[in-house]
Structure 1
Amino acid sequence: MAGRVLITGCSSGIGLDAARRLRDEGWQVIATCRKAQDIAARQAEGIDCLHLELADPDSVAALAAQVLADGPLDALVNNAAFALPGAVEDIPRGALRSIFEANLFGTHDLTTRLIPHFRKRGGRIVNISSVLGLVGIPWRGPYVATKFALEGLTDVLRLEMQGTGVHVILIEPGPIASRIRENAIPHFERWVNWQASPRADEYRASLLKRLYEPSGKDRFELPPGAVSDRIVTALTATRPAPRYYVTTPTRIAGIARRLMSTRALDWFARRS
């Protein structure tokens, strides 16, 4: 049955597709975006959209209060996140703090502010993780760290919420068509001094090309609608699964993490 759902990170990609999909299926959608132009664009297409900056505790608190003041909430989809590419040895402390503030701390803050409401009437919390929450690959250290942390926090929350009427679900996409690569460029340029890195030649040969040069569709890449399919299932199934894989690489990574040795998994990750 359709209800009222809050979805974070709806400027493009998975969040935008999910907001449109759930709206079309009869849900009352509250979307969030950071930028005023994105909020205006969502409102212009008939989607209620509010400002949210996950790295700002005051913004999180204000959003939660406004959403709950406007009526009962049935579900939360934590989708908002950004990537910060670079070699781990080149990531300064402030950079790691900035990505954790948005991808983990803000998401956790918003979730815990809504849990008391869900405890009273039941509800669903859907956290959008990643194949990189299962297996790390080079150049993606900060993003991988936030998704590994999100996976662990979600697993424990699911255990703790059993019997409360609050279902906690992970969705783990693999390569999905989105703007995450383009959106990562400002963060990379702000924080990573790649020219001074001992890996400067590797940056030129690999990461810079991937970031700045147009490329075709990734192998196994699916459209955002593939994730929306799983979100709908997670929100409507009588007994939702604890996690849903999206794309072939995620299914392979899930199996590999359980069955392969660490050395074999490292080989697999380097080739990825």
Structure 2
Amino acid sequence: MTQKTVLITGCSSGIGLDAARGLHARGWRVIATCRATADVAARRAEGMDSFPLDISDPASVAEGARQALALTDGKIDALVNNAAFAVPGAVEDLPRDALREIFETNLFGTHDLTRAVIPAMRAAGTGRIVNISSVLGLVGIRWRGAYVSTKFALEGLSDVLRLEMEGTGIRVILIEPGPITSKIRQNSIPHFERWIDWQNSARADQYRDSLLRRLYESQGPDRFELPADAVTRRLIHALESRNPSRRYFVTTPTWFMGAARRILPTRALDWLARQA
């Protein structure tokens, strides 16, 4: 069988790194992109193709797509859009530029890269685009407005793209993790410190009593937290099954919130979200 190729973003750690390693072990040719050159070198040392890709930079996205297509003679079997980050903070404290920055990575860069590989998939008559969303693409919780808004947008864009790709041989699939072991909390701290003027917020006391503790103090694993390979297992099915699902829930909270969103009135769903 001809070796299949997958392009994955955000392979420095967490979900992206585990996915890259898992698919590489299964015989896929993995193009594992990262922002940092040290991480690129590490992926290459593991036998994967890799190059720097900053998904927030349009020029880097265009060059990354060009390199990926050049490496594969113009054939990419699958794209896994994983790169994303969070900006914790109350919605009323989010400046416009903070939202602009997070959308550049979590949505716009993902969209640009997807558009760049679709022509090659169209020419091949087949392809799979897997977007890594979140339980926060299904329901919102306090302090996560910036991240939630990008994931809600990604869900909508993916749903429409899936409908529009019918008949092309290109499948569009969403994976919705919940609490997964990763560095997203630690990685969000610089963004919080850059954008959120919490000391001068009307919610300063709430920051001290809630968000700052959760952000700066390790609380240990979440009660329902799963390792990153739980996502990789769903991803393998999404990429290798002849009839993949359109959506994959990963953790108990995602299954629960997915069901709750369908059946509960907004007032009850708000009550549930306040417990998170």
Same fold (TM over 0.5): yes
Aligned partner letter, 1:15: G
Query: Which residue of the partner structure matches residue 169 of structure 1?
Result: 173
Aligned partner letter, 1:117: A
How far did 1:31 drift? 0.5
Query: Which residue of the partner structure matches residue 46 of structure 1?
Result: 47
Pair 1:70-2:71 in alignment: yes
TM-score normalised per structure 2: 0.97
Stretches (4+) displaced over 3 A: none
Query: Which residue of the partner structure matches residue 6 of structure 1?
Result: 7
Query: Which residue of the partner structure matches residue 237 of structure 1?
Result: 241
Give 5+ residue unaligned stretches, structure 1.
Answer: none
Query: Which residue of the partner structure matches residue 119 of structure 1?
Result: 122
How far did 1:216 drift? 1.0
- In 1: Cα distance, 2:199 partner to 2:44 partner: 42
- In 2: Cα distance, 1:64 partner to 1:110 partner: 7
Pair 1:92-2:100 in alignment: no
Give 5+ residue unaligned stretches, structure 2.
Answer: none
How far did 1:229 drift? 0.2
- In 1: Cα distance, 2:218 partner to 2:127 partner: 42
- In 1: Cα distance, 2:36 partner to 2:195 partner: 21
Aligned partner letter, 1:260: L
How far did 1:111 drift? 0.1
- In 2: Cα distance, 1:37 partner to 1:205 partner: 37
- In 2: Cα distance, 1:41 partner to 1:91 partner: 35
Query: Which residue of the partner structure matches residue 211 of structure 2?
Result: 207
- In 2: Cα distance, 1:153 partner to 1:29 partner: 25
Secondary structure of 2:51's aligned partner: strand
TM-score normalised per structure 1: 0.99
Secondary structure of 2:33's aligned partner: strand
How far did 1:134 drift? 0.1
Q: Higher mean Cα deviation, 69-78 or 223-232?
A: 69-78
Q: Higher mean Cα deviation, 34-43 or 123-132?
A: 34-43
Secondary structure of 1:76's aligned partner: strand
Aligned partner letter, 1:261: P
- In 2: Cα distance, 1:142 partner to 1:260 partner: 24
Q: Deviation digits for residues 133-190 of structure 1, max 9, x if unmatched?
A: 0000000000000000000000000000011000000000000000000000000000
Query: Which residue of the partner structure matches residue 18 of structure 2?
Result: 17
How far did 1:88 drift? 0.3
- In 2: Cα distance, 1:208 partner to 1:46 partner: 40
- In 2: Cα distance, 1:44 partner to 1:195 partner: 44
Secondary structure of 1:48's aligned partner: coil
How far did 1:212 drift? 0.6
CA RMSD of aligned residues (A): 0.8
Aligned partner letter, 1:82: F
Q: Higher mean Cα deviation, 208-217 or 88-97?
A: 208-217
- Which one of the candidate residues 68, 82, 86 is aligned to 2:85? 82
Identical-pair percentage: 68
Q: Deviation digits for residues 39-61 of structure 1, max 9, x if unmatched?
A: 12212222221111111110000
How far did 1:38 drift? 1.2
Secondary structure of 1:252's aligned partner: helix
Aligned partner letter, 2:41: A
Q: Higher mean Cα deviation, 46-55 or 229-238?
A: 46-55
How far did 1:210 drift? 0.7
Query: Which residue of the partner structure matches residue 195 of structure 1?
Result: 199
Query: Which residue of the partner structure matches residue 251 of structure 1?
Result: 255
- In 1: Cα distance, 2:5 partner to 2:119 partner: 16
Aligned partner letter, 1:22: L
- In 2: Cα distance, 1:113 partner to 1:44 partner: 27
Secondary structure of 2:105's aligned partner: helix
- In 2: Cα distance, 1:146 partner to 1:12 partner: 21
Q: Higher mean Cα deviation, 28-37 or 147-156?
A: 28-37
Aligned partner letter, 2:99: L
How far did 1:124 drift? 0.2
Query: Which residue of the partner structure matches residue 188 of structure 2?
Result: 184
- In 2: Cα distance, 1:86 partner to 1:57 partner: 27
